[in-house]
Chain A
Amino acid sequence: AQSVTQLGSHVSVSEGALVLLRCNYSSSVPPYLFWYVQYPNQGLQLLLKYTTGATLVKGINGFEAEFKKSETSFHLTKPSAHMSDAAEYFCAVSDRGGSQGNLIFGKGTKLSVKP
C-alpha cells in the first residue's frame, strides 16, 4: 500500500532562514504529489502539486518543491521564512490512473518561525 513519510514532526527556523520540509513516498510508480498547509483552526489549503512535466513546482506564498524520482522524494522549500509561515504542513500522494483521486497523507510537520 502507498505510504508517505514526513521526516520531523516539528521544524523550527529563524525568520529569514531557509525552510526545508521533507517528504518521501513509497510507491515504485510515481504518484501525484501534493503539499497542503493548515493554519490554526482552519482546514487544509493546497500549496502546490506535481502531476507531470517540470519536476520543480512553484506554489503559493513563495514555496516550491522538487520531485526526485530516484530518491522517491518531494521536499518542500522556501528560501526565506516569514512569521506568517508558521503552520502545519502535510505531504500527500494520490495514485495515478482512473478517477480515484483518494489522497494518502503524511503525519504532518509543524513549522515554527522564530523572530
Chain B
Amino acid sequence: ETGVTQTPRHLVMGMTNKKSLKCEQHLGHNAMYWYKQSAKKPLELMFVYNFKEQTENNSVPSRFSPECPNSSHLFLHLHTLQPEDSALYLCASSQRSVASGGADTQYFGPGTRLTVL
C-alpha cells in the first residue's frame, strides 16, 4: 500500500449504530487530519493530530470521537449520528515542522462515503 488509505470506502448506518472509520498513512508523516466534505459546503477541518497529540478540534459534536494510536493510524469513531452527518469523510497526512511554517503539503486518502439513515 502507498499513500493514504481509508476503510471502508462506503458505509451505511442507522442513527443508533456505532461504527469506526480507519485511516492509515504510509508516508512517514507526523500529522494527520479528518475533514468532512458535504455537498455545496467547503471542506471542513474536523480534527488535527500532530505527533499523536490532538491539536485541533473545530467544535465537532461529541458523537464524533477521534483516536490516533500512533503517527500512522487515525480512527474516527461514530455513534448516534444524525442524517445531516451524511458526507464524504476525508483523511489526510502531512509532515509538519517549524521550518515548513504552514507550507507543508497535505496528502489525502480517497475518503469514506457515509450515509446515515
Contact = CB atoms under 8 A, between A and B. Distances in A.
B90 interface: yes
Given A42-B110, A43-B109, A44-B108, A97 B42 contact: no
B101 A45 contact: no
Contacts of A97: 101-102
A42 B56 CA distance: 25
Chain B contact residues (Cβ within 8 angstroms of A): what range?
Answer: 20 to 34
Interface string A71-103: 000000000000000000010001111111111
Chain A contact residues (Cβ within 8 angstroms of B): what range?
Answer: 20 to 34
A99 B102 contact: yes
A60 to B, nearest CB: 12
A61 interface: no
Q: Which of B94, B96, B104 has the most CB of A within 10 A?
A: B104
Interface of B: 4, 6, 31, 40-43, 45, 48, 50, 56, 90, 92, 94, 96-98, 100-111
Given A31-B102, A99-B97, A102-B56, 5 more contacts: A41-B110, A42-B110, A101-B106, A105-B42, A106-B42
